Amino acid sequence: MTTPPIEHIADIAAAIGSADSVCVITGAGVSAESGLRTFRGVTGMTAEDHGSMASLWKDFDPATLATAEAFAADPERVTRWYDWRRLGCLAAEPNAAHLGLAEIERRVAARGAEFTLLTQNVDRLHQRAGSRNVVELHGTIMAWRCLRTGKEVEPEPRPFDRFPPRSPLVDDSSDPLGVLRPSVVWFGEMLPPDAVARAEAAAASCDLFLSVGTSSVVYPAAGFIQRARERGADTAEINLEPTPISRLVRWSVRAKAGAALGAVAAALGSRPGP
């Protein structure tokens, strides 16, 4: 049985091929095919593919895990949960969606055009796939921050031996602030200002804005497409299900990110050079 072609791939590849600046935003759906659970929405994956793939906020309450208040109330529980997720990210491999975006960036950069990848993901899979110009809007789970010094460390790729983990930057083992927290953005916290500034600049100057695998409900990330629309950029979305931006974009693609981005990268490769 042959799979039907995915809609709008040629349009998106043509827009990328002629853009002076491309801006892509990704969310948890891009990593679903690597076996990492999304926060909400469908995943298109089954337990047979990767064990439990129920979305995270179905099984866990963000208010008790993803806020500074939750960490203050129960640092052991919060850091155990983030360490469990960190180990899952380390064990995961980039999938066709990550590799497709890295390939698209190479092709765009090769003809001297700009490519910016905004991601809400904390898993670092884009960088591992070869993406270079990545803006981490929600921080990363691979770095942890010392509460005493404010500095970041990159822990070894094995589980912490105590929770909350002790900071290697603080000698005094009785210092209550000598502990680490994940360098991710929690609900109620500001996004890193330099990441927001880079994201706004990229969205406001791009000719094509592409949103992939995000439910587009968490601000300010969900608002960058508005900047691109105000500029008159072409807009596209790749998602398994409709989102609040589906009706706003020029090309709405209902498909798995891996297949769709692989097809876009292949279509770009078969286009005549500049």
Give catalytic residue positions: 138
Give the alpha-carbon dihedral of 36, 33, 121, 81, to 10 degrees.
0
For 242, list phi and psi in degrees, rounded to 5: -65, 150
The least distance separating ligand OAD from the CB of residue 26, rounded to whole angstroms, comes to 7
Distance of CA 270 to the CA centre of its chain: 28
Q: What stretches of 56-177 adopt beta strand conformation (E)?
A: 114-119, 134-136, 139-146, 152-153
CA dist 13 and 175 (Å) reads 55
CA dist 53 and 45 (Å) reads 7
The least distance separating ligand OAD from the CB of residue 167, rounded to whole angstroms, comes to 23
Closer residue to ligand OAD (CB): 230 or 241: 241
Closer residue to ligand OAD (CB): 113 or 253: 253
Name the residue number minimizing CB distance to ligand OAD.
29
Closer residue to ligand OAD (CB): 113 or 129: 129
Closer residue to ligand OAD (CB): 120 or 131: 120
Sheet holding 114-119, edge to edge: 134-136, 114-119, 21-26, 208-212, 234-239, 251-254
The least distance separating ligand OAD from the CB of residue 169, rounded to whole angstroms, comes to 25
Positions that interact with ligand OAD (CB under 6 A): 27-29, 32-33, 38-44, 55, 62, 66, 120, 138, 185, 187, 213-215, 218, 238-241, 243, 256-257
The least distance separating ligand OAD from the CB of residue 251, rounded to whole angstroms, comes to 14
